[in-house]
Amino acid sequence: MTKVVEISPTTRLEGHSKLTLKVDDQGIVERGDWLSITPVRGIEKLAIGKTMEQVPKIASRVCGICPIAHTLASTEAMEASIGCEIPTDAKLLRTILHAANRIHSIALHNILILPDFYIPGTEKKFNLFANEQPDRSVMARIVRIREIGQTIGAIAGGEAIHPSNPRIGGMYHNVSPRAKQKMADLAKEGLVLAHEQMEFMLDVIRNMQNREFVEVAGKQIPLPKTLGYHNQGVMATSSMYGSSSLDENPTWDFTRWKETRPWDWYMGEVTIDLEDPSYPVGGTTKVGTKANPQMEACTGVPTYDGQPVEVGPRARLSTFKNFDEKGTFAQHIARQMEYPDCCYTILKCLDNLNTSGKVLADHIPQGDGSMGWAANEAPRGTNIHLARVKDGKVLWYDMLVPTTWNFPTCSRALTGAPWQIAEMVVRAYDPCVSCATHMIVVNEEEKIVAQKLMQW
The mean pLDDT of the chain is 93
Annotated binding site for Mg(2+): 44, 399, 438
Taking residues 336-359, report their average pLDDT: 98
Q: Would residue 456 count as lying in a domain?
A: no
Q: Would residue 428 count as lying in a domain?
A: yes
Query: What is the model's pLDDT at position 424?
Result: 97
Query: What is the model's pLDDT at position 455?
Result: 40
Annotated binding site: 44, 63, 66, 399, 432, 435, 438
Q: Would residue 300 count as lying in a domain?
A: yes
Annotated binding site for Ni(2+): 63, 66, 432
C-alpha triplet 422, 424, 429: angle, nearest 5°: 105
Taking residues 313-334, report their average pLDDT: 97
Q: State which H helix or E strand residue 386 sits in.
A: strand 381-390
The number of distinct structural domains making up the chain is 1
Residue 26, number of CB atoms within 10 A of its CB: 8
Identify the CATH number of the domain in which residue 125 sits: 1.10.645.10
Q: State which H helix or E strand residue 296 sits in.
A: helix 293-296
Q: Would residue 449 count as lying in a domain?
A: no
Tell me the per-residue pLDDT of 202-244, one tens digit each, with 9 for 90 and over.
999 999 999 999 999 999 999 999 999 999 999 999 999 999 9
Confidence (pTM): 0.93
Q: Can you spell out the DSSP letters for 4-34?
A: EEEE-S--SSBS-EEEEEEE-TT-BEEEEEE
Nearest to 259 by CA among 194, 289, 303: 303
Taking residues 100-107, report their average pLDDT: 97
Q: Would residue 451 count as lying in a domain?
A: no
Cα separation, 436 vs 432, whole angstroms: 7
% the chain with pLDDT above 70 = 95
Cα separation, 69 vs 55, whole angstroms: 14
More confidently predicted of 121 and 451: 121
**pLDDT exceeds cutoff 70 at 443:** no
Query: What is the model's pLDDT at position 438?
Result: 56
Annotated binding site for Fe cation: 66, 435
Tell me the per-residue pLDDT of 20-73, one tens digit each, with 9 for 90 and over.
999 999 999 999 999 988 767 778 888 999 999 999 999 998 887 889 999 999
Taking residues 350-374, report their average pLDDT: 98
Q: How confident is the model at residue 295 (pLDDT cuts 50, 70, 90)?
A: confident
Tell me the per-residue pLDDT of 6-22, one tens digit each, with 9 for 90 and over.
999 999 988 889 999 99
Q: Would residue 378 count as lying in a domain?
A: yes
Residue 334 sits in which domain range?
Answer: 3-436
More confidently predicted of 122 and 1: 122
Tell me the per-residue pLDDT of 366-400, one tens digit each, with 9 for 90 and over.
999 999 999 999 999 999 999 999 999 999 999 99
Taking residues 328-344, report their average pLDDT: 98
Q: Would residue 363 count as lying in a domain?
A: yes
Query: Which positions ≥6 away from 381 have C-beta within 8 Å?
Result: 235, 236, 310, 311, 312, 313, 315, 316, 402, 403, 405, 406
Taking residues 142-161, report their average pLDDT: 96
Q: Would residue 39 count as lying in a domain?
A: yes
